[in-house]
Amino acid sequence: MALDTVMRLQKHDVASILANQTGEEKDQMTTRASSSRKGGANRGAAIDTSDAIPLRYGDDPYVWACWLYYEDGMTQGEIADAMGVSRATVNSYLAEAREKGIVQISLEPARLASLTIAQELKRHFGLTDCLVVPSDDNTRPLIDRLGVAAAQALPKLLKSGDTLAVAWGRTVLSVGEHTDIASLQDMTVVQATGGTTATFSYTPELCAAAIAQSVSARCVNITAPAIVKSSAMREMLLDEPLLQEQFETLGRANRVLFGISSLRPNSTIHASGFFESVSLQHYLAAGAIGVVAGRFIDERGRPVAGPLDDRTIGISLDMLRRIDTRILVAGGFDKVPALLAALRGGYANVLITDAATGHGILRADGVTSLDGRLSQKPKVTQTPSSYRTHVKKFLNNPNQVVEEMLDGVVRAHAGYLQPINGSNRALVARNGPRSGKVGLVIGGGTGHEPCFLGYVGKGLADAVAVGNIFSSPPPDPIVQCAAAASGGEGVLFVYGNYAGDVMNFEMAAEIAEEKGIKVRTVLTTDDIASSPVEDREGRRGVAGNFFIFKIAGAACDRGLPLEACEAVTRKANLRTYTVGVALEPCSMPQTRRHNFEIGPDDMEIGMGIHGEPGVTRERIKSADEITDSIMDNIFKEMKAVSGDRVAVLINSFGGTPMMELYLLFRRVAQRLDAKNIGIEANWIGHYCTSLDMVGASISILHLDQELTELLHHPCETAFLRIS
Amino acid sequence: MQTFSNANAGAIVLSLAERIIENRAYLSEIDGKIGDGDHGVNMAKGFGMAADRLKDKETTLSEALDTLGTVLMTEIGGSMGPLYGMMFTEFAEKLDGVPAIDATAYSRMLHAGLEGIQSIGSAKVGDKTLIDTLAPAIEAFDGAISSGKSFSAALDALIAAAEAGRDSTRDLVAKIGRASRLGERSLGVLDAGATSCAIILKELSLGARSRLA
């Protein structure tokens, strides 16, 4: 959206600059006197050019550069020539001028108000997105302006391959008339309700067709009336294969576009003939305040039951609410109560409206804090330090990142795992569980991929329960995993020792026991830096999980009884030693900020995989020195003697490249060599990450005969295959 | 002596859910300053699921609290799911079979909730957690009753102390949970758990007060 920007040159001598320019001064130009001299005036060599600065800019190259750029419209290259400095210097002048407030970008008041309202609507109703068009542009009808606004928003909301359900109404038709997106492929538009009498121009069929044409989509109509004479007729029609096919398409919709109808006396709903007036009276008497896709809702957004319910053919409110992106386009003061109801009911998560309506919705819901802000002078938006306060990530909706990842995982690794009961939060190995075998259930929070789900498959874990980012799954999916993994011989739970995981897995174990599934638990505690050896049981489980899961999975796959599986897993845990080092923090998708800080020249030895405190924070050293201090700690605990054999895992926390991991491995191998300890097997890569944390961990599994055999036992998972 | 009826008071839990859902964005916003930024979303999910199960049903307060506690305990995960789940199921257990809830029963309920949380979590007052809201609120309620105030006045004291407790977290350094990693940087920001706990205690107590007879 084009923003009207106004540059403000703010400087002690700005008035004198303007004095030279009065004739050309743009009418929006505003100035503000400032007595504060900028702090960095004497910084660096910038001032060396002061001789060449034309008098009217004082001694300030920043103001000069800004003037040439914003007022004279010169490019940075041209400015560099004019000022006799490099392009890079011009670039830094312009950036610093923004930071210092010499240049401020402000927004034209009406647009600012609509942005403020949009932000407040988004916050107040927890919307994914909100677009509010200014109300004071009365040159064309609101319906048209909403259509244009939605046309601007749709390219951001729709993606190739989408199935878009479309309800009917004047506003929806306007969206179709104003939208033209040629870049989308494989789109399907499906009519959200049955058809109506064509006494008006915005019938469901025409709305769907208009939207389909505007986004180059295949159009699927619902070829039945929206309201039929009887519920028996509805049943018969819905039994038709053709309609079933159309409803299947509707059921696949991942976006929906709809308007809203108020039930006020002047509403077009009365004139449309869509509903019989007798029925309408019933719904009104029952408290209906609006109509969403042919369904009635009350002021709190709850469905209102009535005589048309089982005679209506079209999307239900429940179906609507299950769709990922629910775009509501509507405006007009008469629609405020209905819109508020729809937002309270959670029917929309994207709202496109105008400022007056948006303001009305907020006031109707008791939000008055906005009034003061809107009546103030346009606030200058300070943008300066936004640079580098957020980490860049590949994201769609940060609140959906786990679901979207799991959708990708299930598609990518369908050969190894599949959802239990349709939920991606509980995944079971294909060909994993079998009768007579102990089931292995692992799990934990997300953000550690490929841990834990990458180790599900035949010969390793039978099922995985998946939580939110760095957050334990609840008991329910864990219980489902236990049931799916159970082969009648009991189930082994193996997971990291964290308070949240312990609470949830313990509850799940109790519930599973009540269902007759015997459960044994091994908590992994391989992080030797997390607490002293006297408190071994209090330690955290980290990347060494990889070895412990592998041993447990092999023991289960070999058909050992539950007690033996548990015992050998405990042994693997006791003989696995991990120390991690973090160089940079990780950042959460929902905040896109670092969740703690590590100084520019520092590292933290022993940091956990969620950023838990380590043993020491010290100046960063060479790769070999870091490896040595890790290995010294491991050797202190691991009582290995010459001739012993180990398995080695060099694991990236997410942000450290393979190149550096090989440096670490090289030194680990040298240290083991020097003690005549043999490396039976090694793995180097991303095995248990911490989002984008920069850092790595070293895990050593001290092998014996039994562990060696189990380590080499075949398995087939997405991230570990041994044949 | 003032009491309120357990029967049909399940609606209090529905309004509790409404307040949490209304504050979803706010809770996530404050959580985002020193935590993951998902507290509001997770709480709204759990309370919304419980509300769906309770709506259009006439239940006792203890039944409704049990439904809420069970949903939070079994379907939310993380630490907040079990902690709040424990609090509400303990609340429910103490009210179960009490037809007319008086100040003594209400206090017993609150104490059971606090003890339940402390039995699975290790937070103390001053650690910048929901305990900083819950513990002083209970103390204020008990104090008001023992100094001869009415049930209604004691509920007001509870609400005021819960909000003061919530505000006290602004000046605390997080000692537990993920925010503890930020050390001094957690100063100046409310704790999201303490904030949601204040919303819960206020709505519960307002619901109780409006039903007193």
Pairing state between β A678-685 and A325-329: unpaired
Q: CB-based contact (8 Å) between B79 and chain A?
A: yes
B81 with A499: Cβ contact below 8 A: no
Two tokens, residue A33: 């006197």
Q: Are residues A147 and A219 in the same domain?
A: yes
Q: Is residue A511 part of a domain?
A: no
Q: Which two tokens stand for residue A524?
A: 């992994």
**Is B186's Cβ below 8 Å from some Cβ in A?**
no
Q: What percent of chain B has pLDDT over 90?
A: 69
The reply to whether B57 touches chain A by the CB within 8 Å rule is no
- Would an 8 Å CB–CB cutoff place A499 in contact with chain B? yes
| A692-711: b (≥16 Cβ within 10 Å) or e | bbbbbbbbbbbbeeebeebb
- Name which of A507, A597, A611 is nearest B73 (Cβ-Cβ): A507
Beta strands A103-107; A5-9: pairing state: antiparallel
What is the structure's pLDDT at A45? 38
Q: Is B175 on the interface with A (CB under 8 A)?
A: no
Same-domain check for residues A174 and A293: yes
Q: Which residues of chain B lie closer than 8 angstroms to A503, CB-CB? A: 79, 82-83, 120
Find which of B71, B86, B178 to mutate to test the A interface (most A CBs within 10 Å of its CB). B178
Quote ipTM for the complex: 0.78
Does residue A583 sit within a domain?
yes
The separation between CA A510 and the C-alpha centre of its own chain, rounded to angstroms, equals 33
Query: Mutate which of B28, B181, B185 to test chain A, going by most A C-beta atoms within 10 A?
Result: B181
Query: End-to-end CA distance of chain A, in Å?
Result: 57
Cβ-Cβ contacts under 8 Å, B182 against chain A? 595-596
Range of the domain at A25: 5-107
Are residues B77 and A473, on separate chains, in Cβ contact within 8 Å?
yes
**Minimal Cα–Cα distance from B182 to chain A, Å?**
6
CB pairs under 8 A between A and B: 89
Tokens 């990889």 belong to residue: A546
Give every residue of chain A whose pLDDT is below 50, as ranges: 1-50, 376-387
Per-residue pLDDT tens over the stretch B127-171: 899 999 999 999 999 999 999 999 999 999 999 999 999 999 998
Instruction: Please check whether residue B38 touches A, CB under 8 A.
Output: yes
Of A641, A646, A640, A682, give the one whose Cα is nearest residue A665: A682
Exposed, middle or buried by CB within 10 Å (0-12, 13-18, 19+), for A265? exposed
3-state secondary structure of A84: coil
Q: Which of A472, A595, A611 sits opposite B77 (nearest CB)?
A: A472
Quote the pLDDT of residue A589.
87
Domain B4-211: CATH class, spelled out = mainly alpha
Residues of A whose CB is below 8 A from B83: 503
Residue A618 to residues A599, A600, A667, Cα–Cα distance (Å): 9, 11, 20
A648, A702: one domain: yes
Task: Identify the burial level of A418 via C-beta atoms within 10 angstroms of its C-beta, where 0-12 means exposed, 13-18 middle and 19 or more buried.
Answer: middle
Position A467 in a domain: no
Q: What local confidence, expressed as pLDDT, does residue A282 receive? A: 86
Q: Which residues does residue A605 pair with via DSSP β-bridges, in sequence order? A: A581, A616
From residue A195, alpha-carbon distances to A135, A202, A207, A314 in Å are 33, 11, 11, 9
Q: What is the dihedral of CA A150, A152, A153, A159, to 10 degrees?
A: 110
Contact A503 B29 (CB under 8 A): no
Residue A468 belongs to a domain: no
Answer yes or no: do A128 and A101 share one domain. no
Of B40, B81, B181, the CB nearest to A611: B181
From A427's Cα to the closest Cα of chain B, the distance in A is 16
Q: Which residues of A are catalytic?
A: 448, 610
Between CA A192 and CA A224 the distance in angstroms is: 11
| A469 in any annotated domain | no
* Chain B residue numbers touching A597 (CB-CB < 8 A): 185
Q: Which residue of B has its CA nearest to A501?
A: B78
Contact A499 B185 (CB under 8 A): no
> Which DSSP category does A587 fall into?
B
Judgement on whether residues A85 and A126 belong to the same structural domain of the protein = no
| A471 within some domain | no
Say if residue A252 is in the same domain as residue A356: yes
The answer to whether B41 contacts A473, with C-beta atoms less than 8 Å apart, is no
CB A597 to CB B24 under 8 A?
A: no
In 3D space, the residue among A243, A173, A157 whose CA is nearest the CA of residue A212 turns out to be: A173
pLDDT at A387: 46
The CATH number given to whatever domain includes residue A32 is 1.10.10.10
A470 in reach of chain B (CB within 8 A): yes
With contacts defined as CB-CB under 8 Å, which chain A residues touch B176?
none
Statement to judge: residues A58 and A188 lie in one domain? no
Q: Which residues of B touch A126 (CB under 8 A)?
A: 24-25, 40-41, 44
- Average pLDDT of the segment spanning B47-74: 94
- Residue A56 lies inside a defined structural domain of this protein: yes
Q: CB B25 to CB A124 under 8 A?
A: yes
The mean pLDDT of B72-82, rounded to a whole number, is 89
Q: Does A469 reach chain B within 8 Å, measured CB to CB?
A: yes
pLDDT attached to residue A18:
38
Contact flag B25-A612 (C-beta cutoff 8 Å): no
Calculate how close chain B gets to A450, using CA atoms only, in Å.
20
Would you call B77 and A126 a contact, using CB atoms and an 8 Å cutoff? Answer: no
Instruction: Report the CATH number at residue A358.
Output: 3.40.50.1360
Q: What is the pLDDT of residue A138?
A: 66
Instruction: Tell me if B76 and A591 make a contact (CB, 8 A cut-off).
Output: no
- Chain B positions touching A610 (Cβ under 8 A) are 178
> What are the boundaries of each domain within chain B?
4-211
DSSP sequence for A295-341: EEEETTS-B---TTGGGB-B--HHHHHHSSEEEEE---GGGHHHHHH
- Identify whether residues A271 and A361 lie together within a single domain: yes
Q: What are phi and psi of A32, to 5 degrees?
A: -140, 125
Please check whether residue B77 touches A, CB under 8 A: yes
> Which pLDDT value is given to residue A7?
41
Q: What is the pLDDT of residue A21?
A: 40
Chain A residue with the nearest C-alpha to that of B34: A595
C-alpha distances in Å from residue B176, one per residue of A99, A468, B76, B89: 36, 19, 20, 24
Average pLDDT, chain B: 91
Both tokens assigned to A372? 């003061």
CATH number at residue A599: 3.30.1180.20
Q: For A307-340, how does the pLDDT look when each residue is reduced to its tens digit (9 = 90+)?
A: 899 999 999 999 999 999 999 999 988 899 999 9
Query: Same structural domain for residues A154 and A80?
Result: no
User: Which residues in chain B are closer than 8 Å to A611, comparing Cβ atoms?
Assistant: 178, 181
* A579-634: pLDDT as tens digits: 999 999 888 887 787 777 788 889 988 888 887 777 778 899 999 999 999 999 99
Nearest chain A residue to B77 by CA distance is: A474
Contact B77 A610 (CB under 8 A): no
CA distance A465 to chain B (A): 11
**A98 and A190 co-located in one domain:** no
Do A227 and A349 fall within a single domain? yes
**Three-state DSSP string of A177-225:** HHCCCCCCCCEEEEECECECCCCCCCCHHHHHHHHHHHCCEEEECCCCE
Determine the Cα–Cα distance for residues A481 and A512; give it in Å rounded to an integer: 10
On chain A, the residues whose CB falls within 8 A of the CB of B38 are 399, 468-469, 471, 590
Q: How far apart are the first and last CA of chain B?
A: 9
Using one digit for the tens of pLDDT, what is the confidence trace for A671-711?
999 999 999 999 999 999 999 999 999 999 999 999 999 99
Binary contact (A467, B121; C-beta < 8 A): no
Domain annotation covers residue A73: yes
Tens of pLDDT, residues A205-240: 999 999 999 999 999 999 999 999 899 999 999 999
Domain count, chain A: 3
Residues of chain B numbered 80-119 and touching chain A (CB < 8 Å): 81-83
Query: What pLDDT shows up at residue A521?
Result: 97
CA distance B130 to B191: 8
Cβ within 8 Å of residue A208, ≥6 positions away = A166, A168, A189, A190, A191, A192, A219, A220, A221
Verify whether the Cβ–Cβ distance A503 to B41 is below 8 Å. no
Residue A475 touches chain B, beta carbons under 8 Å: yes
Distance from the B63 Cα atom to the nearest Cα atom in chain A, whole angstroms: 20
| Residues B46 and B72: beta-carbon distance below 8 Å | yes
Tell me which of A215 and B176 has the higher pLDDT.
Answer: A215
Kindly state whether residues A179 and A223 are assigned to the same domain.
yes
